[in-house]
């Protein structure tokens, strides 16, 4: 193969040189045989999506956790000491936990597959001098690609023939307005801005062209960004870090308590086997085996709730991580805005009007149209006639097959009461001067009932050069230099507000003019266009601000357009004009502290590149923020992967963005993000609640085993009894707490400090107090039983076991928040809590009344007096805690879920 590929800077090469380099022809393209050879040599034009994890890898990752490692050690130790029942129970916990995580991630993968567009795309090319349609994957370097309105570009290429070509490059650059293409050779740098090139994944909005394909697959701009996505590193989630840290603390607690007991056993000269077996029991008691399974189920439940709210979560830990987000970096086009162009301002010589279109009718925001009704009629007529949007397709298809500005002009005409259909039937087009980057104008000639009409639109500067007069109401006057200057200044002001401005003019003839009819026009007015904010976005952003979350816009659009939208949706204040353009940003390697502070204090970034988006995410993360990044374009993908939580749009988002993100919004609504954040915060609160419950219960077991070893050796709990408590009376109530609705005021408080652990220092104190109270109740039960019932160590053991089981079950009601009521709170309203308690008491009854299970747990039938002792002692902890909350509510120590806690 003699051609030079991949080509560098194709936009700066002359067309003749490019054709020679690719050994192709501008008229005939490649031959069929040559195209087939190149396709085999260069490979298919297939975007290499991110390598998907195999099911085996996904299953293995469920076991890659410090908690699981510790449980495995405990399980094998139990096997070594021939405690098979304990070992089997521990291994069941590990397997069930892994299965839940595996199947939830598998469900997310299936949901993502359902979102993927499975249609095979085709491209029209000229091969051997004949036009033919081929699958886009067979496109190869040197192919002559034919493009027209509605086509999606299937490879990067240099334009060689052009007719009014406009391309929507928002998926690649973030620019909301179509880019007007040219055929001229360029000398500037930066291929992403090359106006004589088209790029894979972009869409043709208007015009047609012939393009020589210069790059396919991974050599395209899209492919390069995909490669950048592959190099981006995923960040370990805050929840993973917090659970890992908690695990280490629990391991140290286990080692310390086990060491104390072992040393005391040696001092008391107990048998080595008894010391080892009891140490294992202590290790089992110290570590909450239910923690991983409860955390996984809580996250999975949150994942299902989010799916019902149109948010597909691809990784369990992202559910909680979203709740800890304190900054959201969001794209503008299509995320904050409708990604549809609408008329925002009508500027006539006699007045300027802010307008909107609601329910198909044109509304004026401040004053009426009385002074300029004739101008409005003429402007809408020009906009309808000087327009190439097909009228024989549906309104939905018009948005795909036409320049969005021209679509907006048709909508304006219909909304203003001048139907496009009537106008086009009255004035038949007989000639056209297509838009070009040189003239920056489009002009059409029409034949009407009374003569001929010239309609023109284009840039203000260019159109004014073709105008001789201007119309104000029903009067037509000269367009002098002062009026021209006034119009130009007004156009600059509207542009500074972030609007795209077009001017309109006309001229009437009684007889058909010659070919040169673009002169001596009458100026009518200007239109300012804007991609408007989504209707629900302002409330969603306000909710995020109330929750202490900073919203930052990062877009490839014009700085003033970005700032204008930011003010409209409430991202920035009306008097805040701070915006940073991508051209201003230094390389991240050379960022000084002053620049970092400036980045962190700015809410609007414009004209940014994919690399700069990635660097902005990095600056926020290094400053200690938990970052969520939203986006839909290919250009957003690297930052989506780098962020703590990447959120892609499911409807209009590119496949690259959806594969990269950890959460995909099925409805593309920013409001869904606000709801998902609230869900994430509730889930973290639930996780915190059940961790406190589990750890306090398990710590009480440590204290009881240790103290009974000194005080009543024969009454000490057996290892299988401890495991039963951990697996049954701990796990089910904790699981119920994890499925609760949580505090409804979570979005009225600032985000929790990401540096804080799941259990704060104050909560460790609360856990210690809870554990001591439960321990005291069990010791009290043994003491009362020994004095008033019997001193039989077997009965004392059973009383200790039953009291601890019941006390732990009743302890679930101590997990309510500080300011909730005693009888009515988030715990008592949680139906899962009542179901869990019913199940646990039934399991205890089954174990107690069936001889075989009773024998397995070393239980015996005890007297009514012993049961009364169990009941009194087990209720005592909840009575003491609730009484404490009532008496000392203003200075409550045990209110670990206050308004300031998250």
- 588 and 694 share one domain: no
Residue 250 maps to a domain: no
Strand order in the sheet with 327-330: 311-313, 663-665, 645-649, 627-631, 327-330, 550-554, 604-606, 580-581
DSSP label of 64: -
576 classed as catalytic: no
Closest of 187, 241, 180 to residue 209, by C-alpha:
180
Residue 320's nearest CA partner among 302, 293, 294, 297 is: 302
500, part of any domain: yes
690 and 789 together in one domain: yes
Annotated catalytic residue within 143, 156, 168, 331: 331
Question: Which residues, listed in sequence order, are joined to residue 550 by a DSSP beta bridge?
Answer: 327
Q: Check whether residue 634 and residue 755 sit in a common domain.
A: no
Do 756 and 779 lie in a common domain?
yes
* Beta strands 467-472 and 452-458, pairing class: unpaired
> What is the per-residue pLDDT for 543?
86
The domain boundary residue, chosen from 223, 257, 277: 223
Last residue of a domain, one of 223, 242, 277: 223
Q: Are residues 734 and 849 in the same domain?
A: yes
Tell me: do 842 and 792 sit in the same domain.
yes
Q: Domain boundary at 601, 633, 668, which?
A: 668
Q: Distance between CA 350 and CA 527 in Å, rounded?
A: 14
pTM of the model: 0.65
Residue 775 placed within a domain: yes
- Classify burial at 812, counting beta carbons within 10 Å of its beta carbon; exposed 0-12, middle 13-18, buried 19 or more: buried
- Going by C-beta distance under 8 Å and a sequence separation of 6 or more, which residues neighbour residue 642? 232, 233, 234, 235, 614, 617, 618, 621, 629
Confidence (pLDDT) at 887: 73
Structural domain for 648, as ranges: 321-338+534-668
Quick one: 525 and 539 in the same domain? no
User: Would residue 63 count as lying in a domain?
Assistant: no
Pairing of strands 452-458, 428-433: unpaired
101: Cα separation from own chain's centroid: 20
As a whole number of angstroms, the distance between CA 171 and CA 711 comes to 72
Cα within 13 Å of Cα(798), Cβ side? 25
Domain-embedded: residue 770: yes
Residue 752, in any domain of the structure:
yes
Residues 636 and 697 placed together within one structural domain of the fold = no
Is 266 a member of any domain? no
Q: What is the reported pLDDT for 117?
A: 44
Element (H or E) spanning 163, and its range?
Answer: strand 156-168
Helical segments of 355-403, H only: 373-385, 395-401
Q: How far apart are CA 660 and CA 639, in angstroms?
A: 9
Domain of residue 595, CATH code: 3.40.50.1000
Q: Could you state, in chain order, the average pLDDT of each consecutive group of 10 residues for the chain (902 residues)?
A: 68 87 88 89 72 73 69 72 68 72 62 45 86 88 86 88 82 72 75 77 81 88 66 54 73 76 74 67 63 69 77 74 87 78 92 90 85 93 90 54 82 93 93 80 92 94 94 92 94 86 95 89 95 84 90 86 88 90 82 87 88 89 90 75 86 70 82 81 82 87 78 70 75 83 73 74 87 93 91 90 94 79 78 92 91 85 92 92 74 51 46
Q: Are residues 457 and 333 in the same domain?
A: no
Residue with token string 């059940």:
690
What pLDDT does residue 1 have?
47
User: What is the pLDDT, as a whole number, of residue 289?
Assistant: 59
Among the listed residues 292, 295, 312, 294, the one whose alpha carbon sits nearest the alpha carbon of residue 303: 312
pLDDT at position 115: 41
Exposed, middle or buried: residue 792 (CB in 10 Å: 0-12, 13-18, 19+)? middle
Q: Give the pLDDT confidence score for residue 508 in this predicted structure.
A: 94
For residue 316, what are its two tokens?
A: 């369990």
> How far is it, in rounded angstroms, from Cα 336 to Cα 568?
10
Structural domain total, the chain: 4
Residues 28 and 164 in one domain: yes
- Residue 511 CB partners (closer than 8 Å, separation 6+): 451, 452
Residue for token pair 């949580």? 742
Is residue 630 domain-resident? yes
Q: Are residues 581 and 687 in the same domain?
A: no
Compute the Cα dihedral for 531, 535, 536, 538 and give only its sign: positive
Length, in residues, of the chain? 902
- Does residue 378 share a domain with residue 327? no
The CATH number for 369's domain is 3.40.1110.10
CATH number at residue 851: 1.20.1110.10
């Amino acid at each position: 193969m003699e051609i030079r590929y991949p080509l560098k800077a194709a936009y700066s090469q002359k067309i003749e040189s490019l054709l020679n380099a690719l050994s192709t022809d501008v008229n005939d393209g490649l031959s069929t045989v040559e195209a087939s050879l190149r396709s085999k040599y260069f490979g298919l034009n297939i975007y290499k999506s991110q390598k998907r994890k195999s099911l085996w890898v996904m299953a293995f990752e469920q076991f890659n956790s410090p908690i699981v490692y510790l449980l495995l050690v405990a399980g094998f130790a139990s096997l070594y000491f021939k405690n098979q029942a304990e070992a089997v129970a521990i291994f069941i916990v590990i397997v069930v936990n892994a299965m839940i995580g595996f199947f939830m991630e598998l469900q997310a993968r299936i949901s993502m597959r359902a979102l993927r567009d499975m249609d095979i795309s085709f491209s029209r090319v000229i091969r051997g001098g004949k036009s033919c349609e081929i699958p886009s994957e067979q496109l190869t370097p040197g192919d002559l690609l034919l493009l027209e309105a509605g086509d999606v570009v299937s490879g990067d290429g240099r334009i060689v023939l052009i007719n009014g070509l406009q391309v929507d490059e928002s998926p690649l650059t973030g620019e909301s307005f179509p880019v007007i293409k040219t055929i001229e050779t360029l000398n500037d740098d930066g291929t992403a801005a090359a106006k004589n090139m088209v790029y894979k994944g972009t869409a043709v909005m208007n015009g047609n062209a012939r393009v020589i394909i210069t790059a396919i697959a991974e050599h395209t701009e899209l492919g390069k960004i995909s490669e950048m996505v592959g190099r981006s590193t995923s960040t370990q989630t805050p929840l993973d870090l917090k659970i890992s840290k908690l695990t280490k603390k629990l391991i140290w607690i286990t080692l310390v308590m086990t060491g104390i007991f072992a040393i005391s056993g040696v001092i008391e000269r107990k048998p080595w086997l008894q010391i080892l077996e009891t140490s294992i029991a202590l290790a089992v008691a110290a570590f909450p085996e239910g923690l991983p399974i409860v955390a996984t189920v809580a996250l999975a439940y949150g994942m299902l709730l989010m799916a019902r709210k149109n948010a597909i979560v691809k990784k369990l830990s992202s559910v909680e991580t979203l709740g800890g987000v304190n900054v959201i970096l969001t794209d503008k086009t299509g995320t904050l805005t409708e990604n549809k162009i609408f008329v925002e301002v009508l500027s006539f010589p006699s007045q300027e009007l802010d307008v909107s279109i609601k329910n198909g009718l044109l509304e004026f925001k401040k004053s009426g149209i009385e002074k300029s009704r004739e101008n409005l009629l003429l402007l809408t007529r020009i906009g309808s006639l000087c327009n190439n949007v097909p009228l024989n397709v549906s309104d939905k298809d018009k948005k795909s097959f036409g320049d969005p500005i021209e679509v907006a002009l048709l909508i304006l005409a219909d909304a203003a009461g001048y139907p496009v259909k009537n106008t086009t039937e009255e004035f038949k087009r007989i000639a056209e001067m297509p838009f070009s980057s040189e003239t920056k104008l489009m002009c059409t000639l029409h034949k009407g009932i009374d003569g001929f009409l010239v309609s023109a639109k284009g840039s203000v500067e260019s159109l004014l050069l073709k105008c001789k007069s201007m119309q104000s109401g029903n009067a037509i006057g000269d367009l002098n230099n002062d009026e021209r200057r006034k119009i130009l200044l007004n156009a600059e002001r509207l542009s500074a507000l972030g609007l795209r401005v077009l001017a309109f003019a006309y001229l009437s003839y009684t007889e058909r003019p010659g070919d040169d009819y673009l002169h001596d026009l009458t100026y009518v007015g200007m239109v300012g266009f804007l991609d408007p904010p989504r209707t629900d976005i302002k409330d969603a952003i306000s909710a995020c601000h109330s929750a202490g979350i900073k919203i930052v816009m990062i877009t490839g659009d014009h700085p003033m357009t970005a700032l204008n939208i930011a003010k409209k949706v409430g991202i920035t204040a009306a008097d805040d004009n701070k915006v940073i353009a991508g051209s201003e940003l230094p390389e991240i390697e050379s960022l000084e502290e002053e620049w970092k502070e400036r980045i962190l204090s700015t809410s609007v970034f414009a004209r940014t590149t994919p690399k700069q988006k990635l660097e902005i995410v990095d600056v926020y993360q290094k400053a200690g923020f938990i970052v969520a990044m939203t986006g839909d374009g290919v250009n957003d993908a690297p930052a989506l992967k780098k962020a703590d939580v990447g959120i892609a749009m499911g409807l209009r988002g590119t496949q690259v963005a959806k594969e990269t993100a950890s959460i995909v919004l099925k409805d593309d609504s920013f409001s869904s993000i606000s709801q998902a954040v609230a869900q994430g915060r509730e889930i973290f609160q639930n996780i915190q609640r059940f961790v406190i419950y589990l750890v306090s219960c398990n710590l009480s077991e440590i204290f009881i085993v240790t103290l009974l070893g000194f005080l009543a050796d024969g009454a000490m709990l057996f290892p299988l009894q401890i495991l039963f408590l951990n697996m049954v009376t701990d796990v089910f109530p904790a699981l119920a707490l994890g499925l609760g609705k949580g505090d409804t005021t979570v979005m009225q408080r600032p985000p929790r400090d990401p540096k804080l652990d799941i259990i704060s220092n104050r909560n460790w104190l609360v856990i210690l107090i809870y554990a001591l109270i439960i321990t005291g109740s069990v010791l009290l039960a043994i003491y009362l039983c020994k004095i008033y019932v019997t001193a039989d160590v077997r009965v004392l053991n059973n009383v200790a076991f039953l009291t601890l089981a019941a006390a732990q079950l009743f302890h679930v009601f101590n997990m309510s928040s500080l300011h909730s009521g005693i009888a009515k709170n988030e715990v008592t309203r949680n139906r899962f809590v009542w179901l869990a308690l019913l199940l646990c008491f039934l399991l205890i009854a089954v174990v107690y009344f069936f001889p075989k299970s009773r024998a397995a747990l070393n239980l015996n039938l005890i007297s009514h007096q012993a049961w009364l002792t169990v009941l009194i002692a087990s209720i005592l902890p909840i009575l003491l805690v609730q009484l404490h909350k009532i008496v000392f509510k203003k200075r409550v120590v045990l209110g670990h879920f206050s308004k300031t806690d998250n």
